[in-house]
Amino acid sequence: MSVEASVISAVCKNKDISTIFASDIDECFVAYKDVWEGLKSYYHKFRSVPDINILTDKFSDFESVAVHGETDYYVDQLRNEYLAGKMRDALLTGARSLESDSAPRVLASLQTELLSLGRLVGGAQDLDLTDIDSASKHFEKVLHRSDQMGGSPGIPTGIKAIDASYVTGMAPGHLIVAIGWPGRGKTWATGWIAVNAWKAGFKPMIVSLEMSPENMRDRLYTVMGEGMFRASDLSRGRVNIDDFRSWGKKSFADKDGFIIVSPEGASEVTPNMVQAKIDQHKPDLVICDYHQLFMDNKRSDNMTQRAMNLSRELKMLATSNQIPVIDITAATMSDSHSQDDPPMLSQVAWSKAIEYDADMAFAVHRHSVDSAPGDPAVIEIISRKNRHGGDFGCMIEWDIDRGVIKEIYS
């Protein structure tokens, strides 16, 4: 018995075609695609679901099936059957490809194929505004989470100016975008946020495509040490190992991990790979450093398409894993813009996609690039979009070499 025939028969019997329209399962009809199209066209023309006999008369190879359940039940069966078939096909194709292609390439292609099937699993989420019980339960849950997290349901950034205005904190599912001109403190500032999250008991994961993991680690130790180490000493290995060990023992006791991920060799990193690392390390916060160095899952050749896909895929990473993701993005240099001030969203290539997908965006700008060695840098942080509160801005006096940081507002 064909499940497709059961779905069509159930729709005709129960007269509820809207169930199928909401489920968006057009592509699951294969054997009786013409019958399904015929049913839809009848509905669109006469605004009613046809009797099953009309379909059996019109399509001679179609036989109706006796159905007893709700249409949803058969839709679920059809979706399961289609999904299982597609997964089998993908796995078989992958196994065959292994004979002539390299394992990493086959894995990447398999991941893309399987991820694309996710569209058949997730549907639209409906929410009834008048359902006070459901809203009350939601508020209770959010309050409980906020109480546990020290005031807001998300992870605090540790920067007072942001935490006071971004009232949700870096909440599950949020895509946060940090923009800046090259070499103006984006990685430092987001590294500091990661350290603050770690100090508050969360587990950050930085996917660093710009710097080697050792360089990134030196930077983070400098920030964690709050004046104890100099970045310039760490980079030259000038550290008292005994002091360092005792500091590490004291600082890292009873703390969650802090993961730095870097690509090996020249391999390209996609959101699928980031997903694999999320599955492996289970972080509470992911930082992608930086947007322009990542490849989208479809490995688009077109730069615009790639950047747009990536923005959407990082947002999906955040929502599907229910963790916040920070996407670091470089502003685009142009002949008609100066780099003396923090970039605006319009100065970032493909800024529309970022504007749509980001829950919060802020610019990071180091003003005193020519300051004398030893003088603290002045880094400006300014909101460029905040869906969850008002605008914010502050200056940070930052002794980058010693990791000593002070927030100022003048």
Partner 1 sequence: MSNSKNLSYALVDYYAFKFKETYGREPIVNKFRDRWGFQDMVESISFDDCKRVIDFYFKTSNAGHKLNTLFTNFDKLLLSLRDAEQDKIRRSAIRAKTAKVVEDWENNNER
Q: How far is the CB of 390 from partner 1 (least distance, A)?
A: 7
Q: 207 near 289, Cβ under 8 Å?
A: yes
Query: In this chain, which of 254, 338, 370, 372 binds partner 1, going by CB under 8 A?
Result: 338
Min dist CB 169 to partner 1, Å, is 12
Q: Is 4 an interacting residue with respect to partner 1 (CB under 8 A)?
A: no
Q: Which of 336, 370, 372, 374 binds partner 1 (CB under 8 A)?
A: 336
- Residue 397 near partner 1 by CB under 8 A: no
CB of 409 to partner 1, least distance (A): 4
Is 165 a residue that touches partner 1 (CB under 8 A)?
Answer: yes
Of the candidate spans 59-67, 331-339, 350-358, 369-377, the one that interacts with partner 1 by CB under 8 A turns out to be 331-339
358: phi then psi, degrees, rounded to nearest 5: -75, 140
Q: Residue 143 interacts with partner 1 (CB under 8 A)?
A: no
Contacts of 3 (CB under 8 A, 6+ apart): 74, 77, 78, 81
- For the bound state, the minimum distance from the C-beta of residue 337 to partner 1, rounded and expressed in Å, comes to 5
- For residue 139, the minimal CB distance to partner 1 (Å) is 19
d(CA 74, CA 58): 23
Based on CB atoms, which residue is closest to partner 1, 87 or 164?
164
Regarding 161 and contact with partner 1 (CB under 8 A), the answer is yes
Q: Is 383 in the site for partner 1 (CB under 8 A)?
A: yes
- If one asks whether residue 395 binds partner 1 (CB under 8 A), the answer comes out as yes
Q: What contacts 24+ positions apart, CB below 8 Å, involve 223-230? A: 223/188, 223/191, 223/192, 223/195, 223/403, 223/405, 224/195, 224/199, 224/251, 224/403, 225/403, 226/403, 226/404, 227/399, 227/402, 227/403, 227/404, 228/403, 229/402, 229/403, 230/401, 230/402
Query: Is residue 146 close enough to count as binding partner 1 by CB under 8 A?
Result: no
Task: Specify whether the CB–CB gap between 31 and 4 falls below 8 A.
Answer: yes
**Contacting partner 1 (CB under 8 A), which of 296, 392, 396, 405?**
392
Length reported for the chain: 410
Q: Which residue in the block uniquely carries the two structure tokens 């920030």?
A: 223
Residue 169 found at the interface with partner 1 (CB under 8 A): no
- Look up residue 155 and give its DSSP letter: B
Q: Which is nearer to partner 1, 201 or 257 (CB)?
A: 201
If one asks whether residue 378 binds partner 1 (CB under 8 A), the answer comes out as no
148 part of the interface to partner 1, by CB under 8 A:
no
- The correct pick among 380, 398, 400, 403 for binding partner 1 (CB under 8 A) is 380
Nearer to partner 1, 17 or 161 (CB): 161
| Smallest separation, CB 395 to partner 1 (Å) | 7
Pairing of strands 360-366, 377-386: antiparallel
Q: In the complex, which residues of this chain contact partner 1 (CB under 8 A)?
A: 151, 160-161, 163-165, 333-342, 344, 380, 382-383, 390-395, 409-410
